[in-house]
Amino acid sequence: MGRTKSVGPVGRFGPRYGATPRKRVLAIELKKKGQRCPKCKSLDTLKREAAGIWVCKSCGIKFAGGAYTAQTTLGKTLLPEELKAPKASSTKE
Ligand SMILES: [Zn+2]
């Protein structure tokens, strides 16, 4: 076997589409792992139904998130109180 470059999940594209689009896809696909459902907290059960629409395979919740990641930094600050982590201290009240 010849040497293979470590290109991660985008290795499946081979030399196609150019380096820059492949790098963008790689960044998105690496973020997919380790995402947690905001309701049942189970790991890697989220499926991207459309841009910004996420469905949990475990509990079936459908919610709005980022286009390619389930939760964005800005989205965290806008979450309803019951979905926020108990440790997160609220600045209101
Ligand atoms: Zn869930």
Task: Report all structural domains of the chain as residue ranges with CATH numbers, in order of start.
Answer: 35-81 (2.20.25.30)
Residue 39: partners with Cβ closer than 8 Å, 6 or more residues away: 56, 59, 61, 63, 83
Cα 61 to middle of ligand 1, angstroms: 6
How many Å lie between the centroid of ligand 1 and the Cα of residue 40?
4
- For ligand 1, the distance from its centroid to the CA atom of residue 45, given in whole angstroms, is 7
Task: Indicate the helix (H) or strand (E) that contains 46.
Answer: strand 46-50
Nearest Cα neighbor of 49 from 60, 39, 34, 33 is 60
pLDDT tens-place string over residues 47-84: 999 999 999 999 999 999 899 998 888 877 777 777 66
Q: How far is the CA of 35 from the centre of ligand 1 (A)?
A: 11
Answer whether 0.85 is exceeded by the pTM: no
pLDDT at 16: 93
User: 46 C-alpha to center of ligand 1: Å?
Assistant: 7
